[in-house]
Structure 1
Amino acid sequence: MIRRLFVVMAALLLPLILALVAAIAVLLPRQGGLAPFRVPMTGSIPASSPALIEHGRYLATVGNCAGCHTAPDGESLAGGRAFNTRYGVVYSSNITPDPEHGIGDWSSEEFRHAMRHGISRNGVLSPAFPYTSFRRLDDGDLDALLAWLRSRPPSTAARRPPVYAFPANLPGAMIAWRLIYLRRAPEMHWSDAHVARGAYLVEGIGHCAVCHGSRGTFASQSTGPQLWGARNAGWFAPALHGTALARFADGDLARYLKGGAPDAIASYGLMANVIAGNLQYLTDDDAGAIEAYLRLLPAPPAEPEPPMRVRANDESLALGRKVYAERCADCHGERGEGVAGKYPPLQGSSAIAAPDPVNLVKLVALGAIAPSTPTHPMPYTMPPFAHSLSARDIAGVVNFLRAQENRDAVPVSEEDVGVMGGVE
């Protein structure tokens, strides 16, 4: 009886095991074979120098290392910041030079490996860590980053393990994710060195796709430069390609990245934090290179016409027109033309023209404060209206503004305002 049961179980399991082995044989080479799983535990540490440390500081600033690896009220670079993802909560790691809790005894080879493959002595990292971008960095830049990190004060803050939800909490889930979704980085070839530098910054240390690129199943990312906009942490990171950036005159996008406000267009929301803490410190050449690269990126293909259109009703548009005339026109003009040097024009605004209305809802409800930078030391602010307008009023003015750009824009309801207008 036992023998017969064993034979039946073997007959059932053998095809599954063979199928699994075949799948691994096919998928493993696509993510780099076994090499990513061989973490180099020995190696060298490059000789440091003030110039190397300064170069590493610049890269860490542009890449916002401290922003992700510093918890609120925590020690700098000691990790512990929580990231709420679709598959659970992930905490950033301690990257100070403490030998026990940080990366103080990591060699250059191990650091490069973790940055490029997302696997370290601590195991397979979550895709929340943008190693799919950092794998583009060359050895010199990675060594400079490590030199700067090793120059920072050490912290004994212990690493907090992730709290994954099903199915990410299953044994081997991160390995399975790699096999299914991770692919080798496609080569980027640009004959223009200025554009190539921009591509290196955008797709590498800048990891712009983490916010501006959409995510697929279980947080999978595109392998190519598809910065077509995506919802992130309660905001919509707008598309970054030539068509979407056409409202910026030549050179103005570089000024914007460095904290300027060309045509009174200044950053807000999460992007204001990025510019205030990171991008304003770009060199002029690097900011210009980023602009040159982004302007060459193609727009996404046109989406098919929906079988049915849902438009804002006349009552909501009429209310929005009234609210705009009473609360918005004094600054932005009767036709949304704005005031040069003070208030931005609304025609072509990414917040209004975006397929996702969440930014516009938040701007009306919460207002906006641009960062104060050397190129824009006294920015104008937009006041919040959540205390003086109802959800119905906000929905009306949002629908009115979006209808000026696209009469077929999906309407916003009072319930949508309640969901979109908060702080996440």
Structure 2
Amino acid sequence: MAPLLFKVEDRPPRITTVLLALQHLLAALGGIIAVPLVIGGALKLPTAEIIALVNAALIGSGVVTIIQCKGVGPVGIRLPCVMGTSFSFVGAAISVGAEHGVAGILGSALAGSLLMIVGSHFMPTIRKLFPHTVTSVVVTMIGLSLIPVAVDWAAGGRGSPQYGAVGNLAIAAFVLALVIAMVQWGKGMISASAIVIGILGGYLLCLALGLVDFTQMRNAPVLALPQPLHFGLSFPVSGIVAMAIAYLVTTVESTGTFMALGSATQTPITGNKLSRGILCDGFGSAFAALISSPPLSTFAQNVGVVSLTGVASRHVVALTGVMLLLAGLFPVLGALVVTVPQPVLGGAGLMMFAMIVSGGINMLSRIEFTQRNTLIVAVSIGCGLAVTFRPELLSRLPLFVQEVFGSGISVGSLVAVTLNLVLPGRTAEHAEEAQHDEGAQASGELA
């Protein structure tokens, strides 16, 4: 495995830290804003209400990102994690909101977060369900599931009338080539800043071609103060159940993301670390509901930034949290970042997400491919990709099944865990993993 440029506890120089934090912001901001926009649009909320949701999402993401990176007592995994609103909650949120309004969404999210908070205490036991074979599958599936997102960005955005236009693909290819050149031939900070340099180059090209739309920036307010309980809270039982299911799915996905992050940062992920990370996800979502934001979870796409740049410093990503907070307080700043055309993000995103796949393949290469392990890898990745590429596969199944199995990451993870438990011959690997986990935990306590 290649050496890291900056390790988890390293503190790069200030200007360097700002540039590196900006890369994570660019990778995450679109996804954070998209969720409240989708929910608000589906519920036909007034523009002012949608703006309130977006600003709250940015503020909540910023605050919880800082806590996840820095840690507050037993809360926070203390790794470079970016937190943001999750599409895992969109289906539940829209169904609850259609009947009970935004107050029902936020109240259900607040009550449902207790499931994640309580469940975090069982993560040392759950960690035992993720030996190296299963973890390798999960990391690979995270990358493979994100590739279609980057492809949609590169093509101009799903639903765009210009989707797949030659111009969009050419811009994405230009950014991709620029990022590759910076990583391959750049030294030190040039290589570490490859994503922001690539995006900046693509942005300047789009400016020259007149492809940057500043409408959102002109319409964005300069200052927006937090609005706790702006929509109120209500607690419909059906909504709480729907959100609880979404939290179960998110717990599986966040566990996989933490595993991928452990690989990217060369950090052993023990059960106790998972507990702190999931506890932060749960408390973060509760906090988000109180400030009028949809629920939060750990962003998988930012693992790709770490993998690509070799910058694993949690202090860098903590600054990204500060930037997200400022973007929520000063929407004009967030609107400026949103002016980056999607093909520009697609070129960089394809590289970032492919790096997660590469990390998963690297982990898979260290597996002894017995018949048992081959079955686990093949079947779980196959099932995960089936849902990723053909989500309509589940359209005729009950809503509960669609919620649980609607994500390729959760399907691949659950199938891998199930096969690992069911197929004979897991004893040796399980014992080896347990011994490794105990050793990593002991070394962490000594540190």
Bigger fraction of residues in strand: 1
TM-score range, shorter chain: under 0.3
Query: Using CA pairs below 8 Å that are at least 6 residues apart, which structure has the higher relative contact order?
Result: 2
| TM-score (normalizing by structure 2) | 0.23
Bigger fraction of residues in helix: 2
Larger radius of gyration: 1
